[in-house]
Structure 1
Amino acid sequence: METLEELELPPDLLIGLAVALGIGMLIGLERERRQGREEDRGAAGLRTHALLALSGAVATVLGVWASVVTGVGVLTLTVASYTRSRERDPGLTSEVAILLSFLLGGLALNRPALAAALGVLVAILLSAKGALHRFTHEHMSQNELRDLLLLAAAALIVLPLLPDHAVDPWGALEPASLWKLVVLVMAVGAAGHIALRLVGARWGLPMAGFFSGFASSTAAVAGFGQRARDTDALLVPAVAAALLANLASLLLFAAVIGAASATLLRAAAWPLLAAGLAIAAAGAFGLWKAPRAADALPDEPQARAFRLSHALLFAAIVAAVLLLSAWLREQVGDRGALVAATLVAIAELHAAGASLGQLAGGGLAIADARWGVIALLGASAVAKSVLAFVSGGWRYGAFVALGLMAMLAAAVATAWLVPFEGGAAAA
């Protein structure tokens, strides 16, 4: 009898065949268990799906014509299976699973890792039938479905079509970057909506706020402001979410400054630390003041996860600020670079921080750059305070502004009381 070495079977072929068999058995196992539980079971079980996957693998080895002929045969058997069972089971899930087992078996010969991952995903989707149906029919409203499709279209259809280069004379406006802000505002609203459903308003919104702050704290302030305006009972959790989003943004701001100029980060370390402690304390205070009783907060979130008009208005404001700062830099020259960076911070704090770090590395006095960091924080805090009033009303705006001003005051006081003894410029 010939050994494997004498047969000269490539290891990749053996791996592919093993993966194909595993995929077929995994999908077939789920189908077999469902056959045992339901009267409207499909035609294919464990053995059939394993054979289908191996058929796809063997056909791939034999060549294109073998794959075509075998594929036509599998498709014919699939149509016959549906014709026999359509009266008691009009769905196509079992038939689609048959085709996927065959196709994934063929894919396993060339891309075994991808085929295995897709096979696991198919098995998960098949086994989650009841949960998915309950979620779709009992938990998701028509408005939520519309919002989900709108967000997907904005991120996956519109965004790739927009140019990623500047389209204005000053080189400030990139349509793709601006549209990313629109997507972020909608995504922040959706994240808060999901968090509300999962863990409730008291912890869900602040948790969503903190993580969304790494993407855009400005978008978070706007998104949670709209939620606070729509539902009065969510005011305090929304404020805590907005403040914790700014804490995350501050952490990212410090990292950006450090990447651009390590000396500037060392110079601004104590003011930034004080600012972080102040905004964290404000967010924690909001969590402590949030209603603890279950009946004090709404049981269900609002029907809409976000408003597209609100996101578009936010992006338009950002575009106007970017144009103003670019025009100012062109008119004033290098002397207006720091002023321009401060104006940029109104719309995008992290981009302004990177610009300031580059200015410090290019010769700007470290003491001036240190106070420039405070100026960027101040410009951002003022802009977000105004946005909070506009998006969430005077109560939301007042609370958010109070937390942001506490952050700014802590940074200013620390910078004043703890001077930096360093060189003239950042290294």
Structure 2
Amino acid sequence: MESEATSQAGQALSTAAVDFDFTHFDLHLATKLVVALAIGLLVGLEREWRKQDADDHDRIGIRTFGLMGLLGGLGGTLTPTIGTWLVPAILATLALLLVNDRRVTAKDKAFTLAEDMTTLVAALVTVLLGVLASIGAMELAVSCAVVVVALLYLKPTLHALIGKLTPAELQATVRFLVISLVILPVLPDKGFGPYEVFNPRTTWLLVVMISAMSFVGYFAIRALGAALGVLATGIFGGLVSSTATTVSFAKLAGDAPEQGRIFAAGVALANVMMTLRIAVLTAVLAPSLAIVLLLPVGLAAATAALFVAFIWYTTRKSAVSPNEMKIANPFQLSQAIKFAVLLTVILLLERVLTENFGEAGLYVLAAIAGLADLDAITLSVAKNANVSGEVLSGVVAILLAMAANALVKGIIAGRAGGAFARWSVAAMSMMLVSAACGLAVEVYL
């Protein structure tokens, strides 16, 4: 098995690199080598700039890194002709040269090899990115180079951020990385149970998404302050899932109930983004439906925006600092799992209704589907309206789904209690009233 895998890897590398005729100028080959050189110059630019702060002019800089990028490009290009051992040999030789150079230089200086390890690793990465560019993956190689430069440049910022982490925050970060980068990729992406409604990867993805929203909210509040941090989280969270954002804010409001109104403003802003998302989806898929839906959805968004403006204006001066909010933990897995289980149950009910009622149960189906998500029912209604031309019933179905979704978020907010519950429920209730008034105008006019 191992020899077969090695053989396949060699074949992949051979097919990735074109058999070039080196007796004439090849523009495609030249482009790859230029990209490899540019990658080295890009990484070397940061290293050269860093030498000014370190007052270390012996450190390798932009010219050397440029040559290393080109070296990688040449190694990847010549591998099919010379042999697969060429790139490993280049890396080993370069590593030995760099390590020896650092040891010699360190004799008369105050730094050690370990302190300059970042530059050595960056050099080897640059060579490999040059190889990657030479086998045709130029966009990926350039993207990786930009990430490398960002990591090198942000060294002081990253060190400062890590230095400010509390033990609880570090523990929460590690747990989040485990559920998102270790558990999620290994879960099967297939349906189980009745109607195959339980998909482990999809369900766990929702858990990750809710946990991510909690993280975004927590650290945005720490970085930007209570008011601006909550609003920023509401905007981006609403683009992903207003329900998941509500779950996250309910948890934060439970930790800091005195800031309940500010968190309610975040929920209202997430609902504004939700209505905008619905408007964009319908406008793309069924413009005739979007025209009729514009007034109800627009009034709902405007109402929620007014709540956000009022809460922010009346609380911006009284908002406490992030350190005074006493938010215990940015990561609470149990709450995310409970919501994911609830969503699975709702999806099962939706499938049962679809199986038994079909299109005749559109309104019932919309109400049930809205308990979990608005995008799916919006897409379904928009496609149906585009085919049948039935617009008004589609508008009613989407608004029913919005009402059901607001009910779920109202229950979530209500469990948190306090000012957060009162203002969140009030904002969502007034949104529905505004949408109903807009629908009434559409019907009678």
Once the two structures are TM-superposed, the CA of residue 159 in structure 1 deviates from its matched residue by: 3.0
Q: Deviations over 1:12-37 (max 9, x none)?
A: 34334434444434434443454554
Q: Quote the Cα distance in structure 1 between the aligned partners of 2:43 and 2:210.
A: 39
Query: Which residue is 1:71 aligned to?
Result: 91
Aligned counterpart in structure 2 of residue 131 of structure 1, from 148, 157, 172:
157
CA distance in 2, matches of 1:367, 1:322: 25
In structure 2, the gaps of 5 or more residues are 1-21
Of 397, 404, 407, the match for 1:379: 404
| Cα deviation digits, residues 78-128 of structure 1 (max 9, x gap) | 443465549734242132123223333333433444434433433332233
**Residue among 112, 115, 138 paired with 1:88:** 112
| Corresponding residue number in structure 2 for 1:9 | 25
Q: What pairs with 1:254-265 in structure 2 (closer than 5 Å)?
A: 254-259=279-284, 261-265=286-290
- Please give the TM-score of this superposition, normalised by the length of structure 2: 0.81
Contact 1:166 1:174 in 2 (8 A): yes
Contact in 2 for aligned 1:19/1:108 (Cα 8 Å): yes
Query: What SS does the corresponding residue of 2:417 show, helix, strand or coil?
Result: helix
Asked whether the equivalents of residues 52 and 98 of structure 1 are also in contact (C-alpha less than 8 Å), the reply is yes
The CA deviation string for residues 373-412 of structure 1, in whole angstroms up to 9 with x for no partner, is 332222222221111112x224312211111111111122
Report SS of the residue matched to 1:170.
helix
Query: C-alpha separation between the residues in 1 aligned to 2:370 and 2:165?
Result: 38
Question: Out of 274, 294, 298, which is 1:273 matched to?
Answer: 298
Listed as ranges, the matches of 1:213-228 within 5 Å are 213-228=238-253
Runs of 4+ aligned structure 1 residues displaced above 6 Å come to 39-42
* 1:233–1:298 contact (8 Å) kept in structure 2: no
Q: Distance in 2 between matches of 1:46 and 1:315?
A: 50
Q: Hey, what's the Cα distance between the residues in 1 that align with 2:357 and 2:138? A: 60
Measured in 1, the distance between the counterparts of 2:72 and 2:190 equals 45
Cα RMSD over matched residues?
A: 3.1
Give the % identical residues. 29
Question: How far apart, CA to CA, are the structure 2 residues paired with 1:117 and 1:369?
Answer: 43
Aligned residue type for 1:73: T
Q: How many residues align?
A: 413
2:198 aligns with 173
Q: Deviations for 1:116-142, whole angstroms, at most 9, x for unmatched residues?
A: 4433433332233222222222x2233
Instruction: Check whether the contact 1:189–1:224 (CA below 8 A) recurs between aligned residues.
Output: yes
Residue 408 of structure 1 aligns with an amino acid whose one-letter code is L
For residues 25-424 of structure 1, what are the structure 2 equivalents within 5 Å?
A: 25-35=41-51, 37-38=53-54, 44-63=60-79, 64=83, 65-81=85-101, 85=106, 88-91=112-115, 92-110=117-135, 111-137=137-163, 139-259=164-284, 261-293=286-318, 296-299=320-323, 302=327, 304-332=329-357, 334-358=359-383, 360=385, 366-390=391-415, 392-419=416-443
Distance change >3 Å, CA 353–CA 38, structure 1 → 2: closer
Which of 42-51 and 119-128 deviates more? 42-51
Contact 2:257 2:418 survives alignment (8 Å): no
Report the residue type matching 2:267 in the other structure: A
The TM-score normalised by the length of structure 1 is 0.84
The gaps in structure 1 that reach 5 residues or longer are: 1-5, 422-427
